[in-house]
């Protein structure tokens, strides 16, 4: 067996070729620079001289990470990252829907929004705890749940599709804002291009540049958001003018459930990528510290934008000027209207707040590339920067095609991606806190493919060294079966424009979204017995 130092030397050599991981079947296979892959790797080597990050999905070994003396700086960088990604317009756009689309009164909307996003942030925070202990990207750690094969589907669904969807939301909103702030002189496709280009450049340079950019963005975004509250304050007197007392109770309940699903999804879906930004932390970093920095890093800025979004939503159905601005320019038009009384300085602040759309899209682009690499050995050999280009091209085309239907995209897309994260979270929770912690009570034979803690023999550890070994990783039968069955919950409980499930239909023609609850419930009930059977049958 190779020593830790030998494995480290192997990994350093592989960084030149985008850290193509050592595979248990093709261990140490060199890259032929004269093959069809040669062009990519030669170009990657050139880009490496400019500081472009070459590492792909390969695990970051403990000796490659920052030491404990630099840990505080690392925590501050991550806090800035979450603040810039969740504290801007992209997140705010979800919170403009409660009154404008779902007819919730201000108090109803605020409770729904805050409870939903806090619950979702807890999901993302729990997922992030795998980062330091594994040194692996979030979807790589999902191999220990879904196995070698089905995780490919999960990675595409959870990271690529969700990331592309959020990027479409960001870029379309970018176009709306620049069109509104220019008085219609700048077409919305210009904003889409600008966000796409800046995001891909920063994401290609990698996590170190990303940390710095996001940290500075967070300060600018926070100050601008405070000024947004001040500038909009002259219309706070109308937020209680809207009343839904004439709407039947069951319909309002359905609307509340649907809005809750959107706000929950907005915070929870970060759970598909949160580990990606903790892989440089020491593996001894306590879980509670990682959970806390992620949870508060998300909910503090989200609370600011949630309240601001709900205020704006209530004003947009009560104030004539805002009604017109929202009707003509969507969320972007309403934001420009809010800053309007400060004239030129107000437009400048809109542009600063517009930067938050780039901050969010950077994370989507950066993490989306790793899901492509999980699709197969051939995909892994393609450098990360190539997949970043593919990712950007896809969401750019989708944004151009759907730029005139922003509210529809937002209200129907977010709950859909929330369904899968609900199933992933509940099974990860049961695996991590149940099977991995108390596994010795369940086994009837030894399992040599995994490790027990010598100091705490009741704890069944993840064998992270085998992250890329198909012969050691779980088959994923339990998680795959539970996931597929959980889809039935989405079919029963979803409430979308194109389909309302039987359970959701009890809340009126538009329904009330129960998909998240039903998928989580079905998967959560099925996974433990199936996992117990899988462990007894296969020993991994």
Q: Any idea which of 21-30, 135-144, 225-234, 512-521 has the lowest mean pLDDT?
A: 21-30
Residues 124-160: tens digit of each pLDDT = 999 999 999 899 999 999 999 999 999 998 888 778 8
DSSP secondary structure letter of residue 160: I
Q: What is the pLDDT of residue 411?
A: 57
Q: What is the mean pLDDT of residues 394-401?
A: 87
291 vs 129: CA distance, rounded Å: 6
Residue 130 vs residues 58, 136, 370, 430, 540: alpha-carbon distances, Å: 15, 8, 16, 14, 19
Q: What is the pLDDT of residue 50?
A: 54
Location of structure tokens 């359970």 = 503
Q: What is the pLDDT of residue 54?
A: 73
DSSP secondary structure letter of residue 17: G
Q: What is the pLDDT of residue 330?
A: 83
Q: pLDDT tier at 398 (50, 70, 90 boundaries)?
A: confident
pLDDT at 336 over 50: yes
pLDDT at 12 over 60: no
Contact 487, 250 (CB under 8 A): no
Q: What is the pLDDT of residue 290?
A: 94
Q: Is residue 395 part of a domain?
A: yes
Helices and strands (H, E) in the chain, number of each type: 22, 2
Q: What is the mean pLDDT of residues 66-85?
A: 84
Q: How many CA atoms lie within 13 A of 289 on its CB side?
A: 16
Residue 309 vs residues 93, 110, 123, 263: alpha-carbon distances, Å: 7, 9, 22, 12
Q: Is residue 53 part of a domain?
A: no
pLDDT at 15 over 70: no
Structure tokens at 2: 């190779």
DSSP-assigned states of every residue in 311-361: HHHHHTTT-HHHHHHHHHHHHHHHHHHHTGGGHHHHHHHHHHHHHHHHHHH
Contact 158, 365 (CB under 8 A): no
pLDDT at 69 over 80: no
Name the nearest CA neighbour of 254 among 520, 505, 519.
Answer: 505
The CA dihedral of 140, 141, 143, 144, to the nearest 10 degrees, is 160
Residue 257: how many other CB atoms lie within 10 Å: 23
pLDDT at 106 over 90: yes
380 vs 457: CA distance, rounded Å: 36
Q: What is the pLDDT of residue 460?
A: 56
Tell me which H or E stretch contains 248. none
Q: By CB neighbour count within 10 A (0-12 exposed, 13-18 middle, 19+ buried), where does 39 fall? A: exposed
Residue 68 vs residue 482, higher pLDDT: 482
pLDDT at 488 over 70: yes
Q: Mean pLDDT score of the chain, rounded to an integer?
A: 83
Q: Which of 12-21, 164-173, 359-368, 394-403 shows the highest mean pLDDT?
A: 359-368
386 vs 21: CA distance, rounded Å: 17
Q: What is the pLDDT of residue 439?
A: 58
Residues 208-245: tens digit of each pLDDT = 888 888 888 899 999 999 999 999 999 999 999 888 88
Q: Coil, helix or strand for 458?
A: coil
Q: What is the pLDDT of residue 172?
A: 86
Q: Strand pairing partners for 461?
A: 451
Contact 195, 358 (CB under 8 A): yes
289 vs 103: CA distance, rounded Å: 39
Q: What is the pLDDT of residue 425?
A: 95
Q: Is residue 187 part of a domain?
A: yes
Q: Coil, helix or strand for 242?
A: coil
**Residue-range definition of the domain harbouring residue 513:** 69-447+462-538
536 vs 9: CA distance, rounded Å: 37
Residues 425-475: tens digit of each pLDDT = 999 999 988 888 765 555 444 444 455 444 444 445 788 888 998 888 889
Name the nearest CA neighbour of 232 among 284, 134, 308.
Answer: 308
Q: pLDDT tier at 7 (50, 70, 90 boundaries)?
A: very low
Q: Is residue 452 part of a domain?
A: no
Contact 206, 385 (CB under 8 A): no
442 phi and psi angles, rounded to 5 deg:
-105, -15
In the chain, pLDDT over 90 holds for what percent of residues?
43
Q: What is the CATH number of the domain that holds 293?
A: 1.10.4160.10
With vertex at residue 277, the alpha carbon angle to CA 276 and CA 278, rounded to the nearest 5 degrees, is 100
Q: Is residue 9 part of a domain?
A: no
Q: Any idea which of 8-12, 59-63, 288-292, 374-378 has the lowest mean pLDDT?
A: 8-12
pTM of the model: 0.85
Contact 131, 279 (CB under 8 A): yes
Q: What is the mean pLDDT of residues 406-420?
A: 67
The separation between the first and the last C-alpha atoms of the chain, rounded to the nearest angstrom, is: 20
Name the nearest CA neighbour of 273 among 359, 159, 386.
Answer: 159
Q: Is residue 61 part of a domain?
A: no
Contact 274, 368 (CB under 8 A): no
Residues 294-329: tens digit of each pLDDT = 999 999 999 999 999 999 999 999 999 999 999 888
Q: What is the 3-state secondary structure (H, E, C) of 96-117?
A: CHHHHCCCCCHHHHHHHHHHHH
Q: Is residue 24 part of a domain?
A: no
Residues 462-473: tens digit of each pLDDT = 888 889 988 888
372 vs 356: CA distance, rounded Å: 25
Q: Strand pairing partners for 452?
A: 460
* Tally of structural domains, the chain: 1
Q: What is the pLDDT of residue 405?
A: 66
Q: What is the 3-state secondary structure (H, E, C) of 42-90?
A: HHHHHHHCCCCCCCCCCCCCHHHCCCHHHHHHHHHHHHHHHHHHHCCHH
Q: Is residue 349 part of a domain?
A: yes
41 vs 13: CA distance, rounded Å: 13
Q: What is the mean pLDDT of residues 396-403?
A: 83
């Amino acid at each position: 067996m190779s020593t830790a130092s030998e494995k480290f030397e192997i990994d350093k050599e592989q960084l030149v070729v985008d850290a193509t991981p050592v595979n248990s079947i093709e261990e140490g296979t060199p890259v032929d620079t004269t093959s069809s892959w040669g062009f990519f790797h030669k170009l990657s080597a050139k880009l490496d001289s400019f500081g472009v990050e070459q590492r792909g999905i390969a695990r970051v070994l403990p000796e490659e990470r920052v030491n404990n003396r630099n840990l505080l700086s690392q925590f501050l960088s991550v806090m800035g990252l979450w603040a810039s990604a969740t504290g801007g317009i992209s997140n705010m756009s979800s919170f403009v829907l409660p009154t404008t689309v779902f007819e919730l009164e201000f108090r109803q909307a605020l409770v729904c929004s805050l409870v939903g996003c806090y619950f979702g942030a807890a999901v993302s925070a729990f997922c992030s705890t795998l980062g330091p202990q594994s040194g692996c990207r979030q979807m790589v750690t999902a191999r220990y749940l879904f196995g070698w094969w089905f995780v490919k589907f999960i990675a595409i669904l959870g990271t690529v599709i969700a990331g592309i969807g959020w990027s479409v939301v960001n870029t379309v909103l970018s176009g709306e804002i620049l069109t509104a702030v220019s008085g219609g002189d700048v077409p919305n496709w210009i904003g889409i291009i600008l966000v796409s280009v800046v995001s891909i450049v920063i994401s290609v340079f990698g996590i170190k540049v990303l940390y710095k950019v996001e940290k500075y963005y967070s300060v600018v975004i926070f100050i601008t958001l405070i000024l947004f509250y001040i500038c909009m304050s002259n219309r706070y007197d109308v937020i209680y003018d809207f009343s839904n007392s004439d709407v039947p109770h069951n319909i309002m309940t359905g609307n509340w459930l649907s809005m809750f699903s959107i706000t929950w999804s907005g915070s929870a879906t970060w759970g598909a990528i949160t580990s990606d930004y903790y892989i440089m932390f020491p593996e001894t970093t306590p879980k509670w510290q990682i959970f806390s920095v992620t949870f508060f890093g998300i909910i503090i800025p989200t609370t600011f934008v949630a309240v601001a979004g709900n205020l704006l939503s209530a004003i947009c159905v009560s104030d004539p000027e805002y009604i017109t601005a929202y009707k003509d320019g969507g969320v972007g038009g309403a934001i420009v209207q809010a800053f309007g009384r400060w004239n030129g300085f107000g437009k400048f602040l809109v542009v600063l707040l517009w930067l938050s759309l780039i901050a969010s899209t950077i994370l989507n682009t950066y993490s989306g590339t790793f899901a492509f690499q999980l699709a197969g050995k051939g995909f892994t050999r393609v450098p990360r920067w190539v997949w970043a280009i593919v990712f950007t091209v896809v969401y750019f085309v989708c944004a151009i095609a759907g730029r005139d239907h922003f509210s529809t995209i937002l209200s129907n897309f977010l709950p859909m991606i929330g369904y899968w994260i609900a199933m992933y979270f509940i099974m990860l929770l049961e695996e991590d806190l149940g099977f991995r912690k108390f596994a010795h009570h369940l086994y009837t034979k030894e399992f040599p493919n995994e490790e027990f803690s010598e100091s705490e023999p009741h704890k069944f550890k993840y064998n992270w060294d085998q992250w890329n070994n198909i012969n050691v990783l779980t088959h994923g039968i339990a998680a795959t079966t539970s996931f597929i069955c959980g889809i039935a919950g989405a079919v029963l409980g979803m409430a979308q424009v194109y389909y309302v499930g039987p359970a959701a239909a009890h809340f009126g023609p538009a329904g009330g979204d129960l998909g998240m609850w039903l998928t989580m419930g079905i998967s959560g009930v099925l996974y433990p017995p199936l996992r117990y059977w899988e462990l007894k049958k296969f020993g991994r």
